[in-house]
Structure 1
Amino acid sequence: MTKRTVIFDLDGTLADTSGDLIAAANSCFRGLGLGDLLDHATDAATALRGGRAMLTLGFSRVEGFGQAEVDAQYPVLLAAYAQAIDTHTVLYPGAMDAVERLLSADYAVGIATNKPEGLAETLMRSLGVRDAFGSLIGADTLPVRKPDPAHHFEAVRRAGGDPARSLLVGDTATDRDTSRNAGVPSVLVTFGPGRDDVLALDPEATIDHYDELDAVVARLIG
């Protein structure tokens, strides 16, 4: 029998990866003689939207750089990030305790992230928590990525779950849109940067701490 399933986003949901992402982007800018164009204190929310978003923001702050430079620097950023993927990254408080409680209650759990699969696997293993998740679907695992619902459905399937009794825990409009496209509830976390932006997305539920997840999951999918 397939299980009720909770799928988690990674960046900004399970872990705060913004520090290492910004460091990788800034290494690209320094390589072009531009210095550090991003600041963790103000740009963490952009970092959690991915590499291209960071490059776009940084280049918008100087003259003469545009989409061509974003495309050219993206693989450079990924290489830099792979070399220092867990220097500053930390799991959010209570995240793995919540996962363990779900597993104990016979839910399946997995990960659906728009981080490239290889980097996501490396990070989760470095953090020592990969084996807790029955699946990990990255940006390049399938021909599609979030917000395409197939990305969510495959994460559920590989975890041994039932898409009709699943939900997605995330932190951005992409996660909210993925869940809506899949016809499943979304639970968005509010403890990352941009709490007001998250609340404005009108998900089925929000949580301020992972201690709240159990009751929300039980209410939404039983």
Structure 2
Amino acid sequence: MIRTVVFDLDGTLVNSAPDLQAAANRMLGDLGHGPIELETVIGFIGNGVEMLVRRCLRHVGQDPQDLGRALALFQGYYARDLTTLTRPYPGVLTLLETLREAGLVLGLCTNKPEKPARDLCQSLDIDKFFQVILGGDTLAVRKPDPAPLRHVVAALGGTAPETLYVGDSETDYLTTRRAGIRFAYFEGGYQRTPIAGFKPDLKVAEMGDLARRILQPTT
């Protein structure tokens, strides 16, 4: 029986890559570099904004050791256009509404910094579904360390055996294995390479199918 559901954000609930790419390319342009393609940026998502910027810099051949200016540029551009191109994946709004109406408790655990995560959810009107929103800078550690996910579950009043975490990446998978929490893998997200020893508890190609899988687990 699942009573608590915690979600990743980027690549799971929302397709945010186009706005992340736009901010990254504006940053790179200010630093004297050409743009990078969307698919390349997608491969850089999942380990927090600092790592995303580092990977962009490495990709264009710039030393990422001096990260300060690049990070400030990226964050400034991204804050101004959080949801210009970002949209929830098909079926997400219905999924969240259905789970809430069924009495499940919902939370968000993302490696995106907490403020842009909250601002993005508010802009897309999905913040109302989550009792807890935790970002990559909320604690001293981020996923795949299990502490953020465990923190969200505890704050929701849940327990590991009754919790499902929904994500799209190797980082999400490793987090759940270390936290002892079941994992539902969204196949339409940003993971582009095979995951070693991958054995998720659920796989869904469309978010609209997840509510049925959670609420009617034998079907």
For residues 148 and 49 of structure 1, the distance between their equivalents in structure 2, rounded to whole angstroms, comes to 11
Where is the helix percentage greater, Structure 1 or Structure 2? 1
For residues 99 and 20 of structure 2, the distance between their equivalents in structure 1, rounded to whole angstroms, comes to 29
**Equivalent residue number for residue 30 of structure 2:** 31
TM-score, normalization by structure 2: 0.88
Deviates more, 1:89-98 or 1:45-54: 45-54
Q: Is the 8 A contact 2:45 2:190 kept in 1?
A: no
Q: Is the 8 A contact 1:9 1:113 kept in 2?
A: yes
Q: Is the 8 A contact 2:7 2:167 kept in 1?
A: yes
Query: Percent of counterpart pairs with the same letter?
Result: 33
Deviates more, 1:190-199 or 1:102-111: 190-199
Residue correspondences, number? 216
| Residue 104 of structure 1, CA deviation | 1.6
| Residue 107 of structure 1, CA deviation | 0.9
| Residue 53 of structure 1, CA deviation | 4.1
- Structure 2 residue matching 1:136: 3-state secondary structure: strand
| Residue 99 of structure 1, CA deviation | 1.3
Q: Is the 8 A contact 2:48 2:136 kept in 1?
A: no
**Equivalent residue number for residue 19 of structure 1:** 18
Q: Is the 8 A contact 2:6 2:106 kept in 1?
A: yes
Are the structure 2 counterparts of residues 19 and 196 from structure 1 closer, same or farther at C-alpha, using a change threshold of 3 Å?
same
- Which of 22, 27, 41 lines up with 1:43 in the alignment? 41
For residues 180 and 219 of structure 1, the distance between their equivalents in structure 2, rounded to whole angstroms, comes to 24
Are the structure 2 counterparts of residues 114 and 20 from structure 1 closer, same or farther at C-alpha, using a change threshold of 3 Å?
same
| Residue 93 of structure 1, CA deviation | 0.5
CA-to-aligned-CA distance 1:181-201 (integer Å, 9 cap, x gap): 110111110112446636973
- Structure 1 residue matching 2:151: 3-state secondary structure: helix
| Structure 1 gap ranges (5+) | none
Q: Is the 8 A contact 1:18 1:48 kept in 2?
A: no
Q: Is 1:124 aligned with 2:118?
A: no
Q: Is the 8 A contact 1:17 1:48 kept in 2?
A: no
TM-score, normalization by structure 1: 0.87
- Which of 207, 213, 216 lines up with 2:210 in the alignment? 213
Are the structure 2 counterparts of residues 198 and 129 from structure 1 closer, same or farther at C-alpha, using a change threshold of 3 Å?
farther
- Which of 74, 79, 90 lines up with 2:76 in the alignment? 79
RMSD value, Cα:
2.3
